[in-house]
């Protein structure tokens, strides 16, 4: 969110992440003679091929060699991730409560934090959905005693509810246009308004939109038909930060 990235997910293993350091995660893979696909954040041997370029290094790439058939196939391995399993029920809860498609929310979280609730960006975005504290306050998160909003956002449920409410509001604000909502989640709604309700011409934002929409497409069940929807602003929701 807001022109900062955390870590790209690693489907079958925990991707090491250093707090407050720029993410340059990659996913490398090879399939052994028993048909088991192995993943790493770096090439451990010549058998590994680059499957996914992390944040700031370009979008997803599919490489047919080494038995890795496609990017979509690799994405489904997310289901085996311990991190993803730990928060899957919370993602479903947040999606249901805020009228979001589960797979879209899943794609955003995978791109933002790699399902790491403790991820913190250099600019202060926190947790699973890399929520900025000021944005969280716009959507109902308040300090509790000595615990700041930033600290509260490390709680997976709190983070998901704040981030998903913001994403749902963005979808409403931009008439159900997923690409614009995703662009605004990354760059801020003001940047999208300034660009004339188009995806801003920021390389990082365009790359982000490409990654999230690609993941979203890959994660959706077969024969799912996209239904456009225009949501009315929920009662009590904040007004746009810029434009109209």
Would you give the DSSP letter of residue 45? S
Sign of the CA dihedral running 183, 115, 17, 50: negative
Find the catalytic residue in 26, 101, 103, 112.
112
In the block, tokens 């311990």 appear at 82
**Contact criterion met (CB below 8 Å) for 8 and 25:** yes
In 10 A of CB 5, how many CB atoms? 27
Whether 112 is catalytic is yes
* Separation between Cα atoms, residue 162 and residue 231, nearest integer Å: 18
Nearest to 159 by CA among 120, 211, 104: 120
**Contact criterion met (CB below 8 Å) for 44 and 59:** no
**Contact criterion met (CB below 8 Å) for 128 and 106:** no
Please report which helix (H) or strand (E) contains residue 214, including its range.
Answer: helix 203-219
CA distances for 108 relative to 61, 70, 117, 180, 212, angstroms = 18, 20, 14, 13, 6
Q: Which residues, 6 or more positions from 197, have their beta carbon under 8 angstroms from its beta carbon?
A: 174, 180, 243
* Separation between Cα atoms, residue 95 and residue 99, nearest integer Å: 6
Residues tagged active-site:
112
């Amino acid at each position: 969110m807001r022109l900062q990235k955390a870590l790209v997910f690693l489907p079958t293993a925990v991707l090491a992440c250093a707090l407050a350091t720029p993410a340059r995660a990659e996913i490398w893979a090879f399939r052994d003679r028993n048909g088991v696909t192995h993943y790493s954040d770096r090439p451990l041997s010549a058998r590994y091929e680059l499957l996914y370029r992390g944040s700031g290094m370009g979008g997803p790439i599919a490489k047919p060699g080494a038995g890795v058939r496609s990017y979509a196939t690799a994405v489904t391995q997310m289901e085996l991730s311990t991190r993803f399993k730990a928060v899957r029920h919370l993602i479903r809860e947040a999606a249901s409560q805020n009228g979001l498609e589960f797979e879209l929310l899943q794609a955003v979280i995978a791109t933002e934090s790699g399902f790491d609730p403790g991820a913190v960006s250099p600019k202060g975005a926190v947790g699973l959905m890399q929520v900025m504290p000021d944005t969280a306050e716009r959507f109902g998160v308040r300090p509790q005693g000595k615990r700041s909003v930033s600290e509260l956002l490390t709680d997976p449920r709190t983070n998901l509810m704040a981030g998903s409410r913001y994403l749902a509001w963005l979808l409403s604000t931009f008439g159900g246009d997923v690409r614009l909502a995703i662009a605004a989640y990354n760059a801020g709604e003001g940047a999208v308004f300034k660009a004339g309700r188009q995806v801003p011409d920021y390389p990082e934002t365009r790359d982000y939109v490409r990654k999230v929409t690609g993941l979203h497409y890959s994660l959706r069940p077969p024969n799912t038909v996209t239904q456009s929807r225009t949501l009315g602003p929920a009662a009590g929701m904040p007004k746009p930060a810029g434009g109209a």
